[in-house]
Amino acid sequence: MPCLVTVGGFFGDEGKGKIVAYLAKRDNPTIAVRGGVGPNAGHTFAFEGKEYKVRMLPSAALNPSTRLLIGAGVLVNPRILLNEIAMFKADDRTYVDAQCGIIEQQHIDRDKSEDHLKSKVGTTGTGTGPANADRALRTLKLAKDIPELSLYIEDVSNSVNFALEAGEKVLVEGTQGTYLSLFHGGYPYVTSRDVTASGICSDVGIGPKRVDDVLAVFKAYVTRVGGGPLENELSEEEAKKRGWLEFGSVTGRQRRAAPFDFELAKKAVRLNSATQIAVTKMDVLFPECARMRDWNKLSAGAKKFVEEIEGELGVKVTLIGTGPELDDMVDRR
């Protein structure tokens, strides 16, 4: 670490939640802070046989000694956040920036009823796009206006910057994925903010020179939910046959699937100035590698795939996910 930013390299659902949960357990950061859009994200991780999902809290929530922060650029749905705080018993270590925007029912209703959003873009229907539109119009409510959140309000950028000045470890968690970026993705089939590493840093209020490492997370194959192009997209039968058929954790929608895209990955490395790469779900591509934790024990095919990624992208693959449990991981750092 000390300041590590994680981002998705493709279209979201790369398995960032599990990577962040693993890093939180392993590296024990003082602070985990979420950037990204808001509760349109769904991060899943499993620990000791139990599956957890978060949409608002950082995926570091299982580490009781890590403070859980939400940056000013992130939209908050108070109901979802309060549920998660209760679920993780994180009442005394969750902090929300006073200037986080608030999603209200009307934003959700608009997201679900406007044809352009619902049918064309295929949004998650969680109200994030309409709320960010209102934020740009400067009519959106902020977290500091919500009595239910008063216990949790703080200046998150100050907390993060003071911790970094004191030499503490900070894990910055991005959501969505590079090609869902409002600026760098395939507009209009994108989310409502920039979600590359620079955007995530802006969300939490840290400048570019504060970051030590950017970890871009790629899945071993590509998936996408909602509208927009997907190069080399597989048929449903083929995706099923390969075990690549997935369902969205927020919307339950079936994800479209395609093989690993080296060109997209290369550009994602540049857009994010990635210094490390994580490849998740290697056990789906190489079932013989399931649950392995030792690089030397991976099959020749799996090693070759990782080495090809490193050769093409010019960045070291430091983490390799081999199963759903946090510790199903080859850690080459």
Catalytic positions = 13, 43
Choices 18-26, 184-192, 258-266, 276-284; region in contact with ligand IMP by CB under 6 A: 184-192
Q: Is the bond leading into 324 cis (omega within 30 degrees of zero)? A: no
Is 9 one of the binding residues for ligand IMP (CB under 6 A)? Answer: no
For residues 52 and 140, what is the distance between their CA atoms, to the nearest angstrom?
A: 30
To ligand IMP, the closest distance from the beta carbon of 184 in angstroms equals 13
Q: Is 13 in the site for Mg ion (CB under 5 A)?
A: yes
The alpha carbon dihedral of 278, 96, 249, 132 has a sign of negative
Question: Which residue bears the tokens 């100050």?
Answer: 158
Please report how close the Cβ of residue 76 comes to ligand IMP at its closest, in angstroms.
15
Q: Which residues of 75-101 are buried (b: 16+ CB within 10 A; e: fewer)?
A: bbbbebbbebbeebebeebbbbbbbbb
Among 30, 161, 178, 191, binds ligand IMP (CB under 6 A): 191
Of the pair 66, 128, the CB lying nearest ligand IMP is at: 128
The closest of 297, 299, 295 to 285, measured between CA atoms, is: 299
Kindly compute the dihedral angle of the four CA atoms of residues 250, 234, 266, 205, in this order, to the nearest 10 degrees.
-10
What residues between 221 and 260 interact with Mg ion by CB under 5 A?
Answer: 249
Q: CB-wise, 59 or 192, nearer to ligand IMP?
A: 192
Cα(151)–Cα(311) distance, rounded to whole angstroms?
A: 49
Return the residues of window 216-245 that contact ligand IMP according to CB under 6 A.
225-227
> Which one, of 31, 4, 306, lies nearest residue 156 by Cα?
31
Measured between alpha carbons, how far is 306 from 220 in angstroms, rounded to an integer? Answer: 9
What backbone phi and psi angles, to 5 degrees, belong to 130?
-60, -35
H or E stretch including 133?
Answer: helix 128-137
Q: Which is nearer to ligand IMP, 189 or 305 (CB)?
A: 189
* Distance, CA of 105 to CA of 76 (rounded, Å): 12
Interface segment toward ligand IMP; rule CB under 6 A; list 116-124, 139-147, 273-281, 296-304: 116-124
- Give least dist CB 101 to ligand IMP, A: 14
Q: Which of Mg ion, ligand IMP, none lies near 272, with the C-beta cut-off 5 to 8 A by kind?
A: none
Burial of 252 by CB count in 10 Å (0-12 exposed, 13-18 middle, 19+ buried)? exposed
Stretch that binds ligand IMP, among 36-44, 72-80, 256-264, 294-302 (CB under 6 A): 36-44
- Interface pick for Mg ion out of 42, 78, 127, 130 (rule CB under 5 A): 42
Closest CA to 61 of 171, 213, 144: 171
Restricted to residues 112-141, the positions that interact with Mg ion (CB under 5 A) are none
**Residue 171 contact among ligand IMP, Mg ion, none, beta carbon within 5 to 8 Å by kind:** none
Q: Is 38 in the site for Mg ion (CB under 5 A)?
A: no
Considering beta carbons, is residue 265 or 298 the nearer one to ligand IMP? 265
Residue 155, judged by CB atoms within 10 A of its CB (0-12, 13-18, 19+), counts as middle
Q: Could you say whether residue 36 binds Mg ion (CB under 5 A)?
A: no
List the single partner that 121 binds among Mg ion, ligand IMP, none, CB under 5 to 8 Å by kind: ligand IMP
Give yes or no for residue 13 binding ligand IMP (CB under 6 A): yes
* Chain positions contacting Mg ion, by CB under 5 A: 13, 42, 249
* Chain positions contacting ligand IMP, by CB under 6 A: 12-13, 37, 40-42, 121-124, 126, 128-129, 175-176, 180, 189, 191-192, 225-227
